[in-house]
Structure formats: C-alpha cells, structure tokens
Amino acid sequence: MKTRTITRADLDLTEFSFGGAPLGNLYQEINDDDAASTLDAAWEAGLRYFDTAPHYGLGLSERRFAAGLSARPRSEYVLSTKVGRRLIPRESGPLGPDPDFAVPASHKRVWDFSRDGILRTLEASLTRLGTDHVDIVYLHDPDDHWEEAASAGFGTLDELRSQGVVRAIGVGMNQSAMLTRFVRETDLDVVMLAGRYTLLEQGALDDLLPAALERNTAVVAVGVFNSGLLSQPRPAPGAKYNYADAPAELVRRANDIADVCERHRVTLPAAALHFPLMHPAVVSVAIGMNSAAQVERNMDLYALTIPADLWDELHEVGLVRRTA
C-alpha cells in the first residue's frame, strides 16, 4: 500500500489506515473474535497505521489492539492514541451502560489536559496496549479546554517528543477552526480532522488546510463518510450525520453527488474515501471497521481509480468547491 510522510517527524503512514472506535463497541457490540479477525484482515490488506483512544469503549479498543497486534513486529506499524479524557474507575455497585459505547460503565471520563493527567493517561494506555511506546499522541477533542490544552497539554506532548518518548504529536477534533489555531500557535506534527473535509463539506479549505500547508503540518482525515451518510451508494433510511439523524437537505445533497458518481460508474463511498487524499496536506484517511468484510469492502474502494472527469463534473455543478 502507498504511504505518505509526516514530514516533521519523518514518519510514514499508509494512505488508508484503521480507526479504532468500532473495536470499542461504537454503536454496537462485537465479540473479541470478530475484533481479532478485523485486525487480521487489515494487516493482511496492508494497513500499517492504527489509531485508538481510551475513550473508545473505556479502554476496550486499546485492549483489543493489544491482542490483535501482539504477534506483529512492532517496528512494522504506526500506532497512535489520545490523551485528555482520563478514565476513573467508578465506585462498586451495579453498572449501567456507557452512554457512548456498548460497554458497561465501569469507568467515568474526566477531562484532564494537565501534565499529570496526560502522563497518567498515556501510562494507562501503554499498559492496555501492551507496548512500551506509541508513535503518535493526540490531544483528544479539547474544544472547551483551549487554555489548558494549548499550554500544559501541548507542553507535555512537546516534552515527550523532545525526549524521544513519542515520534509525533498532534490534536484530533471534529472542527477545523480550533485545529487551525493549534497549527498556527503551537508546533504540531499532525492533526486529525473528523468530518470537516469530505465530499459533503469542505469548510477546512477556509482555514485548516491552508495553514497546514503553510506550517508543514500533516493532516489525517477521519469521518470521511460523515457518520455513515456517504457510506452506501445511496443514503440509507435513517442515515446519520455527525452522529444524529441526517438533515433532509444533506440527504438531498448526498443523493445529488451520488447521481454524478453513477454517471461516471463510481459509487458514492468510493469517491468519499478517495476525495480527501486529493489534497496535498492529507497523509492518510482513517476508517473505523468492525469486521473482516468491512475491511475487504473498503480495500476494494481504495483500490479503485477515480476518473478525473468525476471531480470535474462535481466542480462544474457546484457540489464540490472548485478549490478542493
């Protein structure tokens, strides 16, 4: 599989990479065997960048990565996790369901971008992951915590980078505006942008992507299917957008894009997967998967060649911005 480089860190990522949220039982429960077979299929397909976080299933995703990658040579893949949401065990007693993942609420999440909080969170992640190091650490969704994240949070990651504990540091968010501020005001290697540079919306062209090129900061694009709205040849009934029911206007727009795709004998999800990779700042597209069949399907999409005429028509009819 082709790779692209986080230039600041001299770190190569596969263009297509593995997002770990579904292995934490996002939306639905999967068993350990299915998680293992998903990771096996991803490895056999050539994926070598794997991303996870403590938030994903209260550590379940990290533990499944440990099990699924333990037999793989550690030097042959890139592993990232996130800090900022520290897991605190709940007091004993009956456990209800976690509000975000299909797991028991054995822990609570506490926002903590302090030096001590980050070091504790990373140490716990390394234990769950069964490794002595990760390659990339991201500050995770610091939307309401700019002051602490940009000062103590970034400072701690910068310290870890300078000590050689991690090779690259970054921030991951669902918005481009604050990511842009991080890129311009701190010394990041990479940012993870969720859902804001896709076939459906290209707001990051106004701020983050130009800043990333100017500052030589790499971008990992995630959420490229916009929570599922672009994941099928046609938006499915009840399709989600930003983890909620998709507005009718966006469903119509997705169908309009699908019309153009069909005229060029390309499916909507194939175009959606390839679209972010057309931008020079983007080094990888990470997609969450929870079965070997999903890995195979997405690899088939990645292997396709998208005709240039498709992008031309999307520009001409105003469905994709001309600067994309």
Catalytic residue set: 56
CA angle 50, 56, 58 (to 5 degrees): 130
For 250, list phi and psi in degrees, rounded to 5: -75, -35
Q: Name every residue whose Cβ is closer than 8 Å to that of residue 83 and which is 6 or more positions away in sequence.
A: 54, 113, 117, 118, 121, 122, 125, 137, 138, 139, 140, 153, 157
Please state, in angstroms and rounded to a whole number, the distance separating the CA atoms of residues 48 and 179: 25
CA 168 to chain centre: 16
CA angle 44, 299, 245 (to 5 degrees): 125
Lookup: tokens for 300: 């088939």
Lookup: tokens for 245: 């029911």
CB neighbour burial string for 256-287, b if at least 16 within 10 angstroms, e if fewer: ebbebbeebebbbbbbbbbbbbebebbbbbbb
